[in-house]
Structure 1
């Protein structure tokens, strides 16, 4: 690009009219806020073109929501998923991750101020199985401690713990996308003994271990 053109662009200053606040009226705002509060913003982890209509139909089908779910493209490859009920939104979040053609869907719950221009997806929510732990570490506290080494712990699955003979722990973690997934790691017991835990991630086609 012509350097002189860039210099001219940088010299442009806003007029008084351009700096003036534009006040938005409150009509219909409550309805809009209600719709947004039951929304997820999501994006598929891919740089390749894909069939957007097919992707929308797949999510409607897999989530079994039909017309209860509105999927709106808001730009920059970001979609707004609008649900009718809080329970529907929570079910989708808790049972992910989801994918289309092996492209993982990363999603965030809507917050005020979000737009297609400023939204980022720093992490992905995954269920991680913890295998190989000593029997005396098969408890929820250990699952949370180990899960926190991977990212922010959302919850610990109590189902495996309530079984007669649990073989592994399962923890729901928000894992940063800017770091590779760990395959295993050393765990130090309260008495100082060391054991190795194997991490098995559920539904992770397209994520990187290196």
Structure 2
């Protein structure tokens, strides 16, 4: 494959890498109302009747409402905690936004985000009860793209280096082909001139004889 073909391929790869990079940076800032549901517990009961389930809420802007709804559980069988956390984590950071033990078999409430960050929900369930957790708020459906920031930077760098290299290589190839074409053209002109000279010098014996005869006459 010629260097010019590789240059076109590398340019396309570089354009795609830039598109991917800006998507990774920009799309997580697009936020819209979202809702997610989870059947629990997420950690099965083993030897005992108690288990802890953790659920992640993607980053929510400050002063936004987070609606927590839990259904289909036994009475007084859940302890619920809502707290701020880091991205990709469900470890509590700071005081809880909510701590509740519902008395019925269904529960719904709203909490307000204190700052722009991710949040988590811990549910301790007893007596082997099951439940349906629904979380509603406003976050980006593309929040997971942030984990691709480092690969996106590496992709842009690699594609940029490849584009730079093959651009220089393609220019060298073009210069070489141009020089080769000119050399072939010059060689062809030289051959033509040589043939003309040879035709001028090549005179038949009869013609020479005729000329000599005329000179003698």
- TM-score scaled by structure 1? 0.23
Larger Rg: 2
- TM-score scaled by structure 2? 0.23
Higher RCO (CA-CA < 8 Å; seq separation 6+): 2
More helix by share: 2
